[in-house]
Amino acid sequence: MQKSIGYIVGLLIAFAAFFTLKEFFFGKGFHFFQGFLNLYPLSFFLIYALVGIPAFVFVFLSNENRFFAPLGLNGNIPKAVLVAFVFSIPMFVGYGFPSGFQVSIDGKEFWFGCVFAAFFEELYYRGFFFGQLYRKTNLGFFPALIVPALIFASLHLYQSQNPVTLLGIFITTFMGAGLFAWLYCEWNYNLWVPIFLHFFMNLSWGLFEDVSDNALGDVNANIYRGMTIALAIIGTLLYKRRMGLLLEVNKRTLLRKNE
């Protein structure tokens, strides 16, 4: 238990350092790189990676000089792409069909809202914050999830000024954090599964016209999103049953794991 407390304190310090750098230096760093690179996807990637140095150093030093495996980045990428795409089919079909599959997304929305949002949000909030809490301490799934999910959900509150809509956005993104964390655990800590599902869900949301301008969406949008979520959960459960694999998140790991 003493080891878990020390690890949690170190993890929180590393996350706070990352979050502080992101909040205060991200914009300046982006414009700095953009000033001489003049290539906004690369500039965005570089600054998002640089502000994460405290997190990367913590993972590297606390995992016997390993980096990719503790974060879940050593997983099977082709398998993750296939699984995530199959799960997201209801959203692509449901959103694309009414518009005749007319694409309306632009380059910046694709890179910022789909590629980098999916990769870096999953990397820092699932692979790093939640993942290290759950995998390296005695905390169960729910205690390890709660703080990262609350922060993750709060980051989406810029999307509206309406209190009711804000509450809906917060609940939606909080539940999304729970889904991605659960998938991360159940797919053998392959972070690429939630990364690509996050990517495909964001892509389908922004690819076609008239879906929504925020993360909450209307009833129609949430029907298809709900179908994708249900497919992800059921598909994961069926896969684990077929492979004879036990669920990682169960009654023995929900609240606290034994030493």
* Residue 142 confidence (pLDDT) above 70: yes
pLDDT at 110 over 60: yes
Q: Is 79 found in the same domain as 2?
A: no
Which residues have a Cβ under 8 Å from the Cβ of 46 and sit 6 or more positions away?
29, 33, 37
Domain boundary among 49, 66, 83: 66
**Whether residues 31 and 86 fall in one domain:** no
Count of domains for the chain: 2
Single pTM value for the model: 0.95
As a whole number, mean pLDDT of residues 120-141 equals 96
Domain around 161: 72-259
Whether residues 241 and 143 fall in one domain? yes
**What is the residue-wise DSSP string for 97-124?**
TTTTT-B---HHIIIIIIIIHHHHHIII
Question: Is there a single domain that holds both residue 5 and residue 128?
Answer: no
pLDDT tens digits for range 156-198: 888 888 899 999 989 999 999 999 999 999 999 999 999 999 9
Same domain, 51 and 85: no
Q: For residue range 46-100, what is the model confidence (pLDDT) as tens digits? A: 999 999 999 999 999 999 889 999 999 999 999 999 999 999 999 999 999 887 8
Going by C-alpha positions, the residue among 225, 219, 146, 227 that lies closest to residue 181 is 146
Domain ends where: 37, 66, 95?
66
